[in-house]
Amino acid sequence: SHPWTEEVYAKLQRVFKLGSFRNNQLNAINSTLSGKDVFVLMPTGGGKSLCYQLPAIVKSGKTHGTTIVISPLVSLMQDQVDHLLELNIKATNLNSRLNEKQKRSVFELLVNGDLDLLYISPEMVQASKKFQTVLGSLYRTKNLARVVVDEAHCVSGWGHDFRPDYKQLDYFKNNFPDIPVMALTATANKYVISDIITNLRLNKTDITLLRQSFNRTNLFYQIVPKATKAAALIDTIKDYITTYFPSQTGIIYCHSKKSCEELAEALGKFRISSSAYHAGMSGNERIRVQKAWQMNSIQVICATVAFGMGIDKPDVRFVMHYTIPRSLESYYQETGRAGRDGKYSYCITFYSFKDVRKLQKMIQIDKSLNKEGKTVHLNKLQQVMTYCENQFECRRNQILNYFDEQFDAAFCYKNCDNCVKKLLDVDGDNGDEIQEQD
């Protein structure tokens, strides 16, 4: 136990309204409150934000004052700040989109110690001399608690998302060597990790390295060829649910509001209680559906990707994809909502090449994407297609390799469709040999 243990648990419950910590969160929090550098590798959706948002409001740590968070995307920053403000945590952000007056008011808050967290884009660290001056004075008055580098893989040329501005972030250790730094990411192989530690000049001899495997051992992964006719597909889904998951909770991810609604209605006709969930519904309606599902009065949610953020139902026994997701990251995150309680659960994806074409077209006409963005999204979709069409390699192996994790398929323990098939294939081969001898 540490001097701050009581405060940490009190704030988890009273401020963040959460019941318990997830894997590695408390380790990260204790290390940073002890003044150590921390590296956190945790899957997307694993809960990285809490690792620095909670210590930012703890008063009894070794260092205290403001936590500076470097984050690459302005939209992401704004979401986080809005969430924090809802929890009555003093936070704001500083980026190049603000005008001079807005920037001045941020600096004023910062100087006066009125901020628990300041989110800042990496280019602002270098571009704003004013920021550097204010930061220096916070440091001298012992009001700089820690520096957080979110999406830290952007530091590394080995990573898939290198940002030159991230290279300059050694600024913090160069100027404030005794201020703890926390680096977090969801994707890093050993080269990326070593790059991050070197480039940010983290304390190599006394760093807390928190890595967790992305392997979700209790999930069964399966790809099923998708019937062309909607009626046949719905029949298959109905059979799955009534045979394998009678009265058990599940999510079915669909691509459009329309298919959510049609599927929910069709399942209802088979007396499977289900409801649609998508961004076209009112806020109140969505909350009502989510609550009913969480209390088990709705069995199946037919949802778009709008459903997910902040959902933490432990006993989801199946996640189906009515249409393939657009990236393996989304696949991992969406299937990952199954089996949070550690019990055996199923991830079933209905795959057809026609859906790939449909999604490709949607990306090509998406006005919010420039040419580069389209290429990135098309490549990600391609990887989903490769994954679905691969009928030989262990699913776990494919997923974990995608996240740069080494994995030996023997440790899948026949927990995916392809590993189960291998068992059967061996028998099939033997049969062939006997025929040849005849």
Report what 312 binds from ligand ADP, Zn ion, Mg ion, none; CB cut-off 5-8 Å by kind: ligand ADP
Residues of the shown chain interacting with ligand ADP in the complex, contacts defined by CB under 6 A: 18, 21-22, 25, 42, 44-50, 309-310, 312
Closest listed residue to residue 380, CA positions, set 308, 336, 329: 329
**Nearer to ligand ADP among residue 69 and residue 381 (C-beta):** 69
Residues of the shown chain interacting with Zn ion in the complex, contacts defined by CB under 5 A: 394, 396, 412, 416, 419
Report what 412 binds from ligand ADP, Mg ion, Zn ion, none; CB cut-off 5-8 Å by kind: Zn ion
**Nearer to ligand ADP among residue 42 and residue 412 (C-beta):** 42
Closest listed residue to residue 66, CA positions, set 166, 150, 135, 140: 135
Q: How far is the CB of 77 from ligand ADP (least distance, A)?
A: 13
Question: Quick one: which H or E segment has residue 193?
Answer: helix 190-199
Q: How far is the CB of 75 from Mg ion (least distance, A)?
A: 13
Q: How far is the CB of 42 from Zn ion (least distance, A)?
A: 23
**Nearer to Zn ion among residue 222 and residue 383 (C-beta):** 222
d(CA 312, CA 325): 20
**Nearer to ligand ADP among residue 131 and residue 214 (C-beta):** 214
b or e along 259-270 (b: 16 or more beta carbons within 10 Å of the residue's beta carbon)?
bbbbbbebbeee
Q: How far is the CB of 369 from Mg ion (least distance, A)?
A: 22
DSSP 308-322: -TT---TT--EEEES
Residue nearest to Mg ion (CB): 48
**Nearer to ligand ADP among residue 42 and residue 193 (C-beta):** 42
**CB proximity list for 412: less than 8 A, separation 6 or greater:** 394, 395, 396, 397, 419
Report what 399 binds from Mg ion, ligand ADP, Zn ion, none; CB cut-off 5-8 Å by kind: none
**Nearer to Zn ion among residue 4 and residue 403 (C-beta):** 403
**Nearer to Mg ion among residue 48 and residue 377 (C-beta):** 48
Q: How far is the CB of 186 from ligand ADP (least distance, A)?
A: 6
Residue keyed to tokens 């934000």: 49
Paired sense of beta strands 207-211 and 181-185, if any = unpaired
**Amino acid at residue number 239:** D
Tokens of 267: 């399942």
Closest listed residue to residue 155, CA positions, set 125, 198, 104, 96: 198
Report what 394 binds from Zn ion, Mg ion, ligand ADP, none; CB cut-off 5-8 Å by kind: Zn ion
Q: How far is the CB of 71 from Mg ion (least distance, A)?
A: 8
Question: Quick one: which H or E segment has residue 1?
Answer: none
**Nearer to ligand ADP among residue 53 and residue 323 (C-beta):** 53
Closest listed residue to residue 42, CA positions, set 22, 59, 58: 22
> What's the DSSP call for residue 416?
B
269 neighbors 333 (Cβ within 8 angstroms): no
Q: How far is the CB of 16 from ligand ADP (least distance, A)?
A: 8
> What's the DSSP call for residue 58?
-
Q: How far is the CB of 143 from Mg ion (least distance, A)?
A: 26
> What's the DSSP call for residue 56?
G
Residue keyed to tokens 């209790």: 218
Report what 419 binds from Mg ion, ligand ADP, Zn ion, none; CB cut-off 5-8 Å by kind: Zn ion
Residue keyed to tokens 């808050």: 109
221 neighbors 320 (Cβ within 8 angstroms): no
SS (H, E, C) 68-97: EEECCCHHHHHHHHHHHHHCCCCEEEECCC
Question: Total residues contacting Mg ion (rule CB under 5 A)?
Answer: 1
Q: How far is the CB of 404 from ligand ADP (least distance, A)?
A: 16
State the binding string over 42-61 for Mg ion (x if CB under 5 A, else -): ------x-------------
Report what 350 binds from ligand ADP, Mg ion, Zn ion, none; CB cut-off 5-8 Å by kind: none
Closest listed residue to residue 2, CA positions, set 25, 31, 24: 31
Q: How far is the CB of 18 from ligand ADP (least distance, A)?
A: 4
State the binding string over 6-45 for Mg ion (x if CB under 5 A, else -): ----------------------------------------
**Nearer to ligand ADP among residue 25 and residue 63 (C-beta):** 25
Task: Say how many C-beta atoms besides its own lie within 10 A of residue 59's C-beta.
Answer: 10
**Nearer to Mg ion among residue 148 and residue 319 (C-beta):** 148
Report what 78 binds from ligand ADP, Mg ion, Zn ion, none; CB cut-off 5-8 Å by kind: none
For Mg ion, the binding residues (CB under 5 A) are 48
